[in-house]
Structure formats: structure tokens, C-alpha cells
Amino acid sequence: MKNFNMHIPTKVYFGEGAIKDLSIEIKKYGNRVLMVYGHGSIKRNGVYDDVMAVFELGDITYVELSGVDVNPRLETVNEGVRICLSEKIDFILAVGGGSVIDCSKTIAAAVYYAGDPWDLVSYKTKIQKAMPLGVVLTLSATGSELNGNAVISNTQTKEKRGFSSEWMWPKFSILDPTYTYTVSPHQTACGIVDTLTHLYEFYFSAKEDAELSDAMSEAVMATVIKYGKIAIAEPNNYEARSNLMWASAVALSGMTNRGKTFEGFNHAVEHGLSAIYDITHADGLAILAPYWMEYVLDEKNVTRFARFARKVWGIVDEDDMGVAKKGIERTRRYYEYLEMPSRLSHVKIDDARLDAVIDHAFLGDTLGHLKILRKQDVRRILEAAL
Ligand code: NZQ
Ligand code: ZN
């Protein structure tokens, strides 16, 4: 098992009605809030009204930054920084899904940096400090509510980059599963695929000596698969929504990957697809994962794929290679059941700009460890997925 450090500084309020603790938490940091949200789903489902009621009761002053796009953009970050400085904001509250949270985290860090915030995203400059921020989560998917990561798009350079800092962990996250009842079947499916892929990125790593992390990952995957089906059939099922909400938060919190190595293929290549074609993150992940699994599976790593098939999908058979292939097939069939796209052509991607996607994905010469991939390997995977 690899050495690791761990510190999870985010206070989680979980369950129906958890919003009641919002003003107590905010008041620890001040009274002037920048409330960040997206394109209005919170106004349609009542979450906005709940936040307003808490602000009124707690006598909290606020300024709004709305219109955060999916695949949040640097321009919105700049606008948020401008507001924080001109309005003397004490605290940033993200109300939404991963895009809103990531935009808020980046604003929080960029407030203390005089240069272009892209310097922080691209690791040209190390984050030294950030404003305090909190989260009211409305979509179970990215796990951004319980980590220090953010992903931002630069439309000018056509880049989408993930970055991380201990300063960007939320001070608290309010996780009320009823706030996700209005998430559409497709966005629910996207959240399921994103959560599963966060687990794959570490579960399928070359070394197999972090048993507890592997067993925890398998439990989270099985939970997501089971309750994903239920949440799609019954959007207001509390048991399903609450299990999905906790699973997605845990999946990228670090709890399930201690001692493991980051594989990274799926996220590196998907961020390239999103950067060049502006597609939904999980649409890209759903297309890539089965083709990636098929490509990397070989005699050296077959036991890992066979374990995945047996423990997560419950496939019973003696022959490791046969079981491993069936596990990949079951993954593909589950994604079809979720009505996720299974080919790049389904999201209008042809091979015209695949080289740009590949260049975006590679920061060094290789990707992954389970099977070391070079650019020509990634091209083969993408061509199989066309
Ligand atoms: O714009 P609004 O009105 O908020 O609507 C959103 C958006 O259209 C809607 N939505 C959210 N909550 C809802 C709802 N609709 C109805 N009812 C609700 N309760 O859902 C749509 C998608 O929202 P978004 O925040 O974009 O989705 P998600 O949470 O999947 O975030 C995706 C972004 O996060 C990045 C992705 O790359 C992408 O940019 N990621 C962030 C990570 C992190 N910070 O750790 C890790 C991930 O791997 C990922 O890369
Ligand atoms: Zn993801």
C-alpha cells in the first residue's frame, strides 16, 4: 500500500431539512455572502426559496452570481472575483451541482491572486489562500462537495483542466437528498456514471495491495448500481436518492482510494472531449470506459477485471478471462439501460479533431499504469468508440 496523508476538513450536514443549519455555519465567517448558482433549476424546485428563508431568518446579506454553465468557464470566475472584491464578500455559497461548486471554489482561490485565475487552474501558480466557501448540493455526481478539486474550461484556449488545493475544500456541505428529486433521468444517469468512473480511476490501478480501499470501492459501486436503477424509476424515492448522494460524495473524497494509484485515462481523455466538443462530462465517460476496459484488459491484469466482475456484478464462473469480459459487457449493458450514449457519434463527434483531444489528454508521454498508454493507444480506443 502506498503511503498517504489524509485530512477531510468539510463538515457534512446530511438528510432532509439539513438546510436549517446553514446560517449558523455561514455566520462563523461573516455576514456578506456571494450566492452562486446555475441556470435556474433551484428556482424551479424550491431550493432557492429555502436558502432565502434561511438568509432572512439569519439576517444574512447576499449578492447573487447566477448563470454558471455546465463545464463552468473562466469568464464566470472573473465575474465572481470582481463581485467578491467590490462587494466586500465574506463567504461564498455554492447552490447547485459540480459546475456551480467548481466555479465557486475557483472564485474563492482567485480572489487572493492578482493575476489571471487560469494560472491557478493550470498550476502555473500555487494557490496560497482561498476565501471560505460552503455548499448546498442539488445533484449527486462529481463529489466536489467533499473534496478540494475543481474543473474549469477556458473557451479561448479550448482547454478544460482539473486542479486541486487543500484551500478549496468546502467548510461545510449540506446534503439534502430531497433536493435531488427534480434531477432528470438523464442527469441522474450522468451522476451514476461519473461516480462509478471516479471509483474505476483508482480501483483499476496496477497494484492490488490496498484491500480496504478496493472493498470499499466495490461496496460503493454496488450501491450506486442498485440505487441508480431505483432513482430513475422512482425519482422521489428517498432511500435511493440518499444512497446515491452519499455514494457520490464518498467516491471522490479520498476514503475509497487511500494507498492506490490514480489511473486517470477516463478523466484525462473525457476532459479533452469536453474541452474540444463541449459535451456533458458523463456522456463522454460512459462512451469511453467500456472501450478502455476492453483495450487494457490482458493476461497481466485479468485478475483485477475478474474481481470487478465477480464482486460488483456478481458473475459466477471459474475462468478469469471469461468472467472479466462478461464484467465489461455487464457494464456496457448497464449504461445502455441508463440510456447513456455508447458511441462518440451519438454525441456528434467524428474523427476530425481527435488528435486535439489526444493532445489535450497528455501532459506527459504516457497515461495510466495498469497498461501504459501512449498517444497511438488512445487513438485506437477513440477510433473503436467512433
Ligand atoms: O444550471 P442549473 O440550473 O444548476 O441546472 C443543472 C445543469 O443543467 C442541473 N441541475 C442541478 N441540480 C438540479 C438540476 N436540475 C434539476 N434539479 C436539480 N436538483 O443539472 C445540470 C448539470 O449540472 P452540473 O453542475 O453541470 O453537473 P455535475 O454535478 O455533473 O457537474 C459537472 C461538472 O463537474 C466537473 C465536470 O467536468 C463538469 O464540468 N467535475 C468536477 C469534479 C470535481 N470537482 O471533483 C470531478 C468530476 O470528475 C468532474 O470532472
Ligand atoms: Zn468525473
pLDDT tens readout for residues 135-155: 999 999 999 999 999 999 999
Task: List pLDDT tens digits, range 222-269.
Answer: 999 999 999 999 999 999 999 999 999 999 999 999 999 999 999 999
Predicted confidence at residue 317, as pLDDT, reads 87
Provide the pLDDT for residue 284: 98
Residue 2 · residue 162 · CB < 8 Å = no
Task: Report the CATH number of the 184-385 domain.
Answer: 1.20.1090.10
Q: Nearest CA to 225 among 206, 203, 249, 243? A: 243
Alpha-carbon span 47 to 146, nearest angstrom: 20
Q: What is the mean pLDDT of the chain?
A: 97
CA distances from 316 to 128, 283, 326 (A): 51, 30, 10
Phi, psi of 183, rounded to the nearest 5 degrees: -65, 130
Inter-residue contact 271 to 360 (CB < 8 Å): yes
Q: Which of 162, 69, 193, 203 is nearest to 361 (CA)?
A: 162
Residue with cell 493575476: 115
From the CA of 193, how far away is ligand 2's center (Å)? Answer: 8
Atom of ligand 1 nearest to the CA of 197: 48
Q: Tell which atom from ligand 1 comes closest to the C-alpha of 68.
A: 1
Please report, for the chain, the start and end positions of each structural domain, with discontinuous segments joined by +: 11-179, 184-385
288 in Cβ contact with 380 (< 8 Å): no
Q: Tell me the C-alpha distance between 231 and 242, whole Å.
A: 10
| Residue 318 clears pLDDT 90, i.e. is over it | no
Q: The domain 11-179 is classified under which CATH number: 1.10.10.10, 3.20.20.70, 3.40.1360.10, 3.40.50.1970?
A: 3.40.50.1970
- Report how far residue 211's alpha carbon sits from residue 217's, in angstroms, rounded to the nearest whole number: 10
Mean pLDDT score, 85-90? 98
Could you tell me the distance, in angstroms and rounded to a whole number, from the CA of residue 194 to the centre of ligand 2? Answer: 5
pLDDT band at 208 (very low <50, low <70, confident <90, very high): confident
Query: What's the pLDDT score for residue 14?
Result: 98
Ligand 1 atom showing the smallest separation from residue 282 Cα: 30
Ligand 1 pocket list (CB less than 6 A) = 38-41, 45, 70-71, 96-100, 102, 138-139, 141-144, 147, 149-151, 162, 179-180, 182-183, 187, 190, 194, 252, 267, 281
What is the amino acid identity at position 67? G
Q: How far is CA 9 from the centre of its chain?
A: 18
Its pTM stands at: 0.97
